[in-house]
A and B are shown apart, each in its own frame.
Chain A
Amino acid sequence: MAHIHVPDGLPGILGPMAVSPESAEALRELVEVLLRGPNTLTSAEHELIATYVSSQNDCCFCQLSHGAAAAEHLDGNCELVDRVKSNYATAEISEKLKALLTIAGKVQKGGKHVTTEDVERARTLGATDKEIHDTVLIAAAFCMFNRYVDGLGTWQPTDSLTYREMGRTIA
């Protein structure tokens, strides 16, 4: 049961968003721009960063819903998404994305964990200032979303079909 009264049957973040529509509107706009706005990083890459950070934060709802969205963008490749969560260094993704995931992982621990070396490495592998900026902000934003969802004790379904549907909707 959630820590506050939320409408029945709304999973994860949807419950709190229903009780606070004004902040929900801004949150929706933010995630739309961050994950789907025009960018040199693909939507799949954005969703992988969001999924990775959410798994580091141990947020079930966020990692499964955004993991499903990432898989949707990757022609259903759930194994790749799982590999990114468990050991991205060995996943079949670009070296640039691995360097950005390292930065995202540092942001998840705290902003000051990001070092000049982390950023330089990403640049060496082709990351632009915008891509570095967006990685930091996506990681930071999911540290917010994960805390929102878990901090209110929201109901989080566990069946994969529900998340596959959510993934399609998000994608």
Chain B
Amino acid sequence: MVSEGPYTHQAADTAWNFASAAIAAGHEVMRVFFYHDGVYNATRLTEPPQDDRHIVNRWSALKEQHGVDLVVCVAAALRRGIKDEVLAPGFRISGLGQLIDAGIKADRTVTFGD
């Protein structure tokens, strides 16, 4: 679960690095669930300066290359203006049930935030 927005907070960077390292070590990362301000990780309107990392595109690549399910909480997203029409490639909007489902199915659930 990623609980904080990109760029303000390191949670999104740490989560992406953790997920990438886990995959490189042979683990399966079934899902990343974006909650609270974490939903801002999913907007394709994100346009950082060229010399900065592109946090949103990095997530999209994780889905494209490794099939990681990128789920944005619908209630948290709608509160913050994140809708289907602004979603970056690879993200989908769904319910909190997806977070509980991941907790049930995965061996480990890791929270990134304060």
Instruction: Answer yes or no: are A and B bound together in one complex.
Output: no
Contacts from A to B (Cβ < 8 Å) = none
